[in-house]
Amino acid sequence: MRKLICLLLVSLIIKHSVLACSAFAICKGDRIIVGKNLDWFCNMAYLVVNKRNVSKKAFLSSNASVLEWTSKYGSITFTQNGVGLTSGGMNEAGLVIEESWLGPTQYPVADERPVIDEIQWIQYQLDNCSKVEEVIATNSKLRIQKYYGKSHYFVYDKSGNTATIDFVNGEMVYHLLHKTDVQVLTNDTYQLASDSLKNFEGFGGTRNVPNGTKSIYRFGRAAKMIKDYERNDSTNIIDYGFGILSNIAQKSTAWSVVYDISNLRIYYKTSSSPEIKEVSFNKFDLDCSSPMMLIEINLQKKGDISNLFEPYTLEKNRDLVTKVIKNWRENKFALHITDAEVEKLIQYPETMRCNK
């Protein structure tokens, strides 16, 4: 019995660790970046160039009506769940949305609003919004229905506006953050994390911010490094962003991203390919009359990889989804996704249409 309890505790610790993502923003002068660590057991994904004027219908199978829309903006997104269902990214207007796991998440109960799942919600916002306020306003028009897990969101726009969005007791709870506020999100509600930060030196308390992977510790170390940089550090802002991500990384960190909102560039590295890669929006045609483009994120390259993207094909999406689902099942995640639904994920991009 004691051995069984120990094994269960180890399992819970591992699960908590691999779900522990972090995001932050730095605004200094005319430069704005957003950083994100995806802490996860699977690092397979595509970087996808999504186009404007594409008609879409939410993937989610539901008895309720599902959301339908036509994309207003092009975007570049990290996509693990299959093309069209992003894990995070930036659009051409400079809006960035990233998500982290939040255990106490409770999405809204069923009502008359059309539904979308918690991951494709990100793509919907990148397709339709340019500002933080627009993202928040969509809550009256749509409802998240859980399909994969429990997410909360870090949203940043080109004007320097920031929001964190949680779903607590079935309601959206958001915080609009000013430049003087702590612009970090880990795996607690923003309110809990920011309240806990007051115990640490530099934020009203006397304790040093501890090392370790606990959510509030990562929140605190990122907050301190941001404050130090904004005060007097002259390090290149992209390099400093990766420095923060390195400081709060874990063994389970699958990839690290720095979004250069000011210049519409994305920098990233993965656990399998630690060389920093760069992607520039100005290298792509974002009109839907041209093919959707993608690239496997773990390619062994460094520097600007914008010219290495290839057109989407059904076979490429099948390859990604099949490998990812196999990995998830091995790690006992999302076991509710049946083989029939896997095939729907594979076929989903074929349902999208250029609306021209």
Q: What is the number of residues in the chain?
A: 356
Q: How far apart are CA 200 and CA 216, in angstroms?
A: 10
Nearest-CA neighbor of 281 among 121, 52, 81?
A: 52
Give the residue-averaged pLDDT of 118-137: 98
Kindly state the tokens that stand for 131: 């500002």
Residue type (1 letter), 251: K
Q: How far apart are CA 84 and CA 208, in angstroms?
A: 43
pLDDT of residue 233: 76
Give the residue-averaged pLDDT of 262-267: 98
Quote the number of domains for the chain. 1
For residue 2, pLDDT over 70 is answered with no
pLDDT in tens, 203-253: 999 999 999 999 999 999 999 999 999 887 789 999 999 999 999 999 999
pLDDT of residue 232: 78
pLDDT of residue 4: 36
pLDDT of residue 10: 36
> pLDDT-derived band of residue 18, with 50, 70 and 90 as boundaries?
low
Cβ pair 298, 43 in contact under 8 A: yes
Is 25 among the domain residues? no
More confident residue, 5 or 55: 55
Is 339 among the domain residues? yes
pLDDT of residue 234: 84
Is 231 among the domain residues? yes
Q: Which domain holds residue 133?
A: 32-354
Cβ pair 255, 277 in contact under 8 A: no
Is 7 among the domain residues? no
pLDDT of residue 6: 37
Give the residue-averaged pLDDT of 81-93: 96
pLDDT in tens, 152-175: 999 999 999 999 999 999 999 999
Is 233 among the domain residues? yes
Q: How far apart are CA 20 and CA 14, in angstroms?
A: 10
CATH number at residue 260: 3.60.60.10
Using CA atoms of 46, 17, 8, 329 in order, give the dihedral in degrees to the nearest 10.
0
Is 12 among the domain residues? no
For residue 29, pLDDT over 90 is answered with no
Q: How far apart are CA 190 and CA 209, in angstroms?
A: 17
Q: How far apart are CA 13 and CA 226, in angstroms?
A: 28
Is 14 among the domain residues? no
pLDDT of residue 19: 60
Is 22 among the domain residues? no
- Mean pLDDT, all residues of the chain: 92
